Chains A and B, each alone.
Chain A
Amino acid sequence: MKKQFLLMGSLLLSTAMAYGAAFQLNLQGVRQLAQGGTGTAVPWDASTIFYNPGGLSALKHVNAYGSVQFLSANTRYVETPSGSYSADSKAKTYTPFNFYVGGPVRYKSKLSLGLGVYTPFGTGVKWDDNWRGRYVIQDIQLQSVFFQPTASYRFNDVISVGAGFVIATGNVKIQKAIPLQSGGQDGMAELKGNAMGYGYNIGVHLRANDNIQFGISYRSGVKMKVKRGYANFTVPSSLSSSFPYTAFKSDINLPQVVSAGIGVKVTERLGIQADANFVGWSSYDSLIFDYETNTASLTDTRSPRRYKNTLIVRLGANYLIGQKWTVMLGAAYDPSPVRDGFLSPDLPDNDHFMTTGGFVFKPNKKLAIMGVLEYVFTPVREGSLNEAQFSGRYQTKIINPGIGLNYEF
């Protein structure tokens, strides 16, 4: 007879990966960000490779662009329903970056070519190792870098189109505690992996007249495949055979984004833009971990996410002061794709209200030095991650300055 009491139940390792909600970054150009993230209609510089590849052939010269953000997010958790406990995420600054180079193949050519390297998705949150949500998440870091070679063609003075092929790379790291104790110490699970995916980015740019521009773009979904990540479990020695060091597979479907925008030059000095982005978050339906080695205790997991599609609206304005300075302002509303019951401390998302401002300084005709400050306000959200029975109130504040350079050859 087998000793029945040695059968270990399957442990809940399902909530492990937390490519949380709005882990879309929308930080691909300083000018665009400073104007509330608008950028589909107006090709300011080489960063249009991301916002609307169709705008690339509207650039008169080859542009080289580089920028970096210094994003720091602070989240506080307050336990509910009784709530005598609170915890703050550990302060950390993330540095999403962008490089673009592109422009007409010859002066006045209708064909333009370019390359973009940017970081459209990412998230990270680190909690104290001993915090109350440690069996849900201790630390999650997700990074992505997209490479996008792009071609754009200008049919005439009104219409131009563009398309880019996206090679997406990324990596993920997850750490959480496991409720298997030895001498009062929890076990731990660490998952690490690199991801790869492909997609495309296409757009149309219309210059109706000198004062009004339109843009439409479509960024495809990208299936990020973790083909061979590694899971490392630290458990009491008597259980180590149940939790072997094993490879795992996982896919994350990043959403498609449809964007439409309009840019209007109100006066010689004042321009305003509006954008709308439809984000197909419903692609992120569930998160599956397929472990290469399964045991009675370590089974594959499928964790429902059930993100919903969202519509982001953006508004921005720029004003030229003198010859060298431009100031910019903007605002945006980015609703959360996370449904009630799926609110996890690995990405305690809520609707984002963004206000932005920035400047461009042009010491000469070719060089632009840009600065931006984004402040993100998210209302307090109360909810729970039902599968872990983990509930609380979350408040996140994000401050995000950035700088950039564009050089026009």
Chain B
Amino acid sequence: MKKLYILGLMAFVASCKPNIEPEKPTKGDGVDFSSYVAVGNSLTAGYADGSLYRSGQENSYPAMLAEQFKTVGGGVFRQPLLPGEYGYPSAKLVLGSHQGLCDTAASLAPITYTGALDTVGSSINIFNSAGPFNNMGVPGIRCIDFVIPGYGFLNPYARRMYVSPTGSRPVDEIMVAKPTFFTLWIGSNDVLGYATSGGEGPTAPGGTNKISDVDQFNAAYDSVLSNLRRKGAQGVLLNIPDVTSIPFCTTIPAKGLMLSKNDANLLNNAYNSLNGYIRFNEGANYFIIEDSSVPTKFRHIQDGEYILLSTPQDSIKCKGWGTKKPIPGKYVLTGNEVTKIKTATAAFNNIIYLMARREGIAMVDMNSYLKTLQTGITFNGANFNANFVSGGAFSLDGVHLTPRGYALVANQILMAINNKYKSTIPLVDVNKYKGIQFP
């Protein structure tokens, strides 16, 4: 009788506690995550803040995915980790107090990291000690580079992780870890170099700043994908973002030149001989940019044209760039250049779309997703948008993402996988990772 009371009491106490439990993740049908290989460029490597450093790699979206895959039979995920946080080869950017030559006071801006140089020796090949690698993200690599023999000789990131850097093609290297599952996010650099150099690609030495030829892109992409698929590996393709929608292009507004009435008058007097071709008003004005296609070789910038984040701020403030002197072409994307970028992006994305359809595998429309960042994305109460620094998703170089930004990418991939294979792999907790770090 006494026992019954105790049992009854225990049952009562237990009934006061919630008892719902999370669902067990399921792998889904026809997919094997035991050897996941991520093929890509800097975005895949975990590059951020203008460099590659260890914590960036540790928080790469493939590392996040691999962590989630472990809940459904995912295996070891090896990354070519750098020894430290400084950045390789050059220092990363951090937010700090900065006072430009003509600033009256210091303000918050990206500045070069001045911590200990802890990435010494990173040029040494680490394949034998730490490979083969599952994260095959190589900063700087273009789609068309994947079929170049000895590519590792040209790219220091590839050189330190490839099994045969001076002999193999990247398309061979991505098979070394024997992928059973892959993500493929390549192609951004086939247009990004052109964009970040202000469309000055064709004249730049080395030629990597050109927009890649569409046929070459198609052939190289086909080669990479066919290789990955040869042994039946499943995977996800990601298309490439429109680089004109990232902070590197959108942070300095075309009509961002604020002038007093007096300054506007002085400038108008200086340009008086041009009969109003150049005209300033009190308030917001369009900057003056270089344009070799017009007779004067300079003009006002227009809406839909971009001044790049790489433009030296001191030159604008102290040397009259954009007012007395046109902003040089390598810091500007003119309408023609923007059209070329958009045309190429659309063509490359069409190739990726057709390849996904041909192979019957999932594709994540990263181009559309990153555009939704412009209006804003909320995750568990944290807001993200495409604004530089304050938006939280893009890192301090304005091109690559923060760990939280990469986590948003990882979730898009996971949703595509769950949808395609009827799996229930948990999404990544975006806010577990770091956003922009303020001093």
Measured CB to CB, the residues of A under 8 A from B are 1-9, 11-12, 15, 72, 74-76, 78-79, 81-86, 88, 132-136, 176, 179-184, 235-239, 375, 380, 387-390, 393, 395-397, 399
Query: A4-B251, A5-B251, A82-B425 given as contacts; is B381 within 8 A of A136 (CB)?
Result: yes
A interface footprint on B232-253 (CB within 8 Å = 1, 0 otherwise): 0000000000000001000111
* Bound: A182/B385 CA distance, A: 19
Chain B residues numbered 410-439 whose CB sits less than 8 Å from any CB in chain A: 414, 418, 424-427, 429, 431, 434-439
Task: Decide if B22 touches A389 in the complex (CB within 8 Å).
Answer: no
Task: Decide if A239 touches B438 in the complex (CB within 8 Å).
Answer: yes
**B414 cross-chain contacts in A, Cβ below 8 A:** 82
* Bound: A389/B431 CA distance, A: 13
* Bound: A1/B322 CA distance, A: 11
* Bound: A136/B385 CA distance, A: 18
Query: A4-B388, A9-B387, A238-B95 given as contacts; is B21 within 8 A of A390 (CB)?
Result: no
Contact residue among B16, B382, B389 (Cβ-Cβ distance under 8 Å from A5): B389
* Bound: A216/B18 CA distance, A: 37
Task: Decide if B392 touches A82 in the complex (CB within 8 Å).
Answer: no
Task: Decide if B18 touches A83 in the complex (CB within 8 Å).
Answer: no
Most buried by A among B16, B22, B23, B316: B22
**A12 cross-chain contacts in B, Cβ below 8 A:** 378, 381, 383
A-B contact pairs, 19 of them (CB 8 A): A1-B317, A9-B383, A72-B16, A74-B17, A84-B25, A86-B22, A132-B380, A134-B381, A135-B382, A179-B383, A180-B438, A182-B439, A235-B438, A239-B438, A388-B380, A389-B380, A393-B20, A395-B20, A397-B18
Most buried by A among B71, B252, B390, B391: B390
Task: Decide if A4 touches B253 in the complex (CB within 8 Å).
Answer: yes
Task: Decide if A74 touches B16 in the complex (CB within 8 Å).
Answer: yes
Chain B residues numbered 247-277 whose CB sits less than 8 Å from any CB in chain A: 247, 251-253, 256-258
Q: Which residue on chain B has the smallest CB distance to residue A137? A: B381
Task: Decide if A9 touches B21 in the complex (CB within 8 Å).
Answer: no
Contact residue among B20, B25, B418, B438 (Cβ-Cβ distance under 8 Å from A182): B438
* Bound: A184/B425 CA distance, A: 27
Contact residue among A238, A239, A389 (Cβ-Cβ distance under 8 Å from B379): A389
Q: Which residue on chain A has the smallest CB distance to residue B110? A: A5
* Bound: A390/B391 CA distance, A: 19
Task: Decide if A83 touches B390 in the complex (CB within 8 Å).
Answer: no
Task: Decide if A179 touches B426 in the complex (CB within 8 Å).
Answer: no
* Bound: A76/B380 CA distance, A: 17
A interface footprint on B100-116 (CB within 8 Å = 1, 0 otherwise): 00000001110000000
Task: Decide if A179 touches B438 in the complex (CB within 8 Å).
Answer: no
Task: Decide if B381 touches A11 in the complex (CB within 8 Å).
Answer: no
* Bound: A84/B385 CA distance, A: 27
Q: How far is the CB of B87 from chain A (nearest CB, A)?
A: 18
Q: How far is the CB of B358 from chain A (nearest CB, A)?
A: 29
Task: Decide if A15 touches B381 in the complex (CB within 8 Å).
Answer: yes
Q: How far is the CB of A346 from chain B (nearest CB, A)?
A: 11
Q: Does B313 interact with chain A (Cβ within 8 Å)? A: yes
Q: How far is the CB of A400 from chain B (nearest CB, A)?
A: 10
Task: Decide if B97 touches A238 in the complex (CB within 8 Å).
Answer: yes
- Give 4 closest A-B pairs by Cβ, nearest first: A135-B381, A236-B438, A76-B18, A84-B426
Chain B residues numbered 351-396 whose CB sits less than 8 Å from any CB in chain A: 377-383, 385, 387-392
Task: Decide if A78 touches B21 in the complex (CB within 8 Å).
Answer: yes
Contact residue among A133, A179, A238, A388 (Cβ-Cβ distance under 8 Å from B108): A238
Q: Which residue on chain B has the smallest CB distance to residue A236? A: B438
Query: A9-B390, A11-B383, A12-B383 given as contacts; is B256 within 8 A of A4 (CB)?
Result: yes
**B17 cross-chain contacts in A, Cβ below 8 A:** 74, 397
Q: How far is the CB of B379 from chain A (nearest CB, A)?
A: 6
Task: Decide if A181 touches B418 in the complex (CB within 8 Å).
Answer: no
Contact residue among B18, B388, B389 (Cβ-Cβ distance under 8 Å from A395): B18
Query: A9-B391, A397-B17 given as contacts; is B252 within 8 A of A4 (CB)?
Result: yes
Task: Decide if B437 touches A135 in the complex (CB within 8 Å).
Answer: no
Q: Does B293 interact with chain A (Cβ within 8 Å)? A: no
Task: Decide if B22 touches A83 in the complex (CB within 8 Å).
Answer: yes
Task: Decide if A388 touches B381 in the complex (CB within 8 Å).
Answer: yes
Q: How far is the CB of B104 from chain A (nearest CB, A)?
A: 12
Q: How far is the CB of A137 from chain B (nearest CB, A)?
A: 9
**A179 cross-chain contacts in B, Cβ below 8 A:** 381-383, 392, 431, 435
Contact residue among A133, A237, A387, A393 (Cβ-Cβ distance under 8 Å from B439): A237
Task: Decide if B378 touches A1 in the complex (CB within 8 Å).
Answer: no
Task: Decide if B390 touches A5 in the complex (CB within 8 Å).
Answer: yes
Q: Which residue on chain A has the smallest CB distance to residue B435? A: A181
Most buried by A among B16, B19, B21, B247: B16
**A387 cross-chain contacts in B, Cβ below 8 A:** 378
* Bound: A236/B388 CA distance, A: 18
Query: A85-B429, A179-B383 given as contacts; is B18 within 8 A of A184 (CB)?
Result: no
* Bound: A382/B258 CA distance, A: 51
* Bound: A15/B381 CA distance, A: 9
Task: Decide if A84 touches B22 in the complex (CB within 8 Å).
Answer: yes
* Bound: A389/B23 CA distance, A: 20
**B316 cross-chain contacts in A, Cβ below 8 A:** 1
**B256 cross-chain contacts in A, Cβ below 8 A:** 1, 4
Q: Which residue on chain A has the smallest CB distance to residue B250? A: A4
* Bound: A72/B18 CA distance, A: 12
Task: Decide if B390 touches A1 in the complex (CB within 8 Å).
Answer: no
**A390 cross-chain contacts in B, Cβ below 8 A:** 380-381
Task: Decide if A82 touches B439 in the complex (CB within 8 Å).
Answer: no
**B336 cross-chain contacts in A, Cβ below 8 A:** none
**A3 cross-chain contacts in B, Cβ below 8 A:** 107, 109, 313
* Bound: A81/B378 CA distance, A: 15
Q: How far is the CB of A319 from chain B (nearest CB, A)?
A: 22
Q: Which residue on chain B has the smallest CB distance to residue A377? A: B15
Task: Decide if B21 touches A86 in the complex (CB within 8 Å).
Answer: yes
**A396 cross-chain contacts in B, Cβ below 8 A:** 18
Most buried by B among A136, A179, A182, A396: A179
Chain B residues numbered 313-351 whose CB sits less than 8 Å from any CB in chain A: 313, 316-317
* Bound: A88/B247 CA distance, A: 39
**A182 cross-chain contacts in B, Cβ below 8 A:** 437-439
* Bound: A399/B18 CA distance, A: 12
**B15 cross-chain contacts in A, Cβ below 8 A:** 375, 397
Known: A76-B18, A81-B427, A84-B71. 11 other contacts (CB 8 A): A6-B107, A78-B21, A82-B414, A82-B425, A82-B426, A136-B381, A179-B392, A181-B437, A236-B438, A389-B380, A397-B17
Q: How far is the CB of A67 from chain B (nearest CB, A)?
A: 21
